[in-house]
Amino acid sequence: MTIRHLNCASMNPLAATRMVAHCLLVERPEGLLLVDTGFGAADCADPKRLGRPFRALVRPVLDPAETAVAQVRALGHDPADVTDIALTHLDLDHVGGLADFPAARVHVFADELDAALHPTLREKGRYLDVQRAHGPRWVTHDVPGDEWFGFGSVTALADDVLLIPLQGHTRGHCGVAVRRPDGGWLLHAGDSYFHASEKQSEPAAPYSLRAFQVLMGVDNKRRVANQERLRELQRSHSDEVTVFCAHDASELAVFAVE
Ligand SMILES: [Zn+2]
Question: Measured in angstroms, how far is the CA atom of residue 232 from the centroid of ligand 1?
Answer: 23
Strand-by-strand arrangement of the 2-7 sheet: 2-7, 22-28, 31-35, 82-86, 105-109, 137-141
Q: Report residues of the chain scoring pLDDT below 70.
A: 256-257
Question: Measured in angstroms, how far is the CA atom of residue 151 from the centroid of ligand 1?
Answer: 22
Question: Measured in angstroms, how far is the CA atom of residue 148 from the centroid of ligand 1?
Answer: 24
Question: Measured in angstroms, how far is the CA atom of residue 174 from the centroid of ligand 1?
Answer: 12
Question: Measured in angstroms, how far is the CA atom of residue 190 from the centroid of ligand 1?
Answer: 7
Question: Measured in angstroms, how far is the CA atom of residue 22 from the centroid of ligand 1?
Answer: 9
Residue 90's pLDDT is 98
Tens-digit pLDDT profile for residues 125-156:
899 999 999 999 999 998 888 899 999 888 88
- Domain range list for the chain: 2-256
Question: Measured in angstroms, how far is the CA atom of residue 21 from the centroid of ligand 1?
Answer: 7
Question: Measured in angstroms, how far is the CA atom of residue 154 from the centroid of ligand 1?
Answer: 21
Distance CA 146, CA 104 (A): 26
Question: Measured in angstroms, how far is the CA atom of residue 36 from the centroid of ligand 1?
Answer: 10
Question: Measured in angstroms, how far is the CA atom of residue 128 from the centroid of ligand 1?
Answer: 13
The angle at the Cα of 230, spanning 106 to 247, to the nearest 5 degrees, equals: 55
Please state the pTM of the whole predicted model: 0.96
Question: Measured in angstroms, how far is the CA atom of residue 201 from the centroid of ligand 1?
Answer: 23
Q: Confirm or reject CATH 3.40.640.10 for domain 2-256, answering yes or no.
A: no
Distance CA 175, CA 166 (A): 6
Question: Measured in angstroms, how far is the CA atom of residue 171 from the centroid of ligand 1?
Answer: 14
The 3-class secondary structure across the chain, one letter per residue, is CEEEEEECCCECCCCCCCECCEEEEEEECCEEEEECCCCCHHHHHCHHHHCHHHHHHHCECCCHHHCHHHHHHHCCCCHHHEEEEECCCCCHHHHHHHHHCCCCEEEEEHHHHHHHHCCCCCCHHHCCHHHHCCCCEEEEECCCCCCECCECCEEEECCCEEEEECCCCCCCCEEEEEECCCCCEEEECCCCCCCHHHHCCCCCCCHHHHHHHHHHCCCHHHHHHHHHHHHHHHHHHCCCEEEECCCEHHHHHCCCCC
Residue 153's pLDDT is 84
Distance CA 258, CA 181 (A): 7
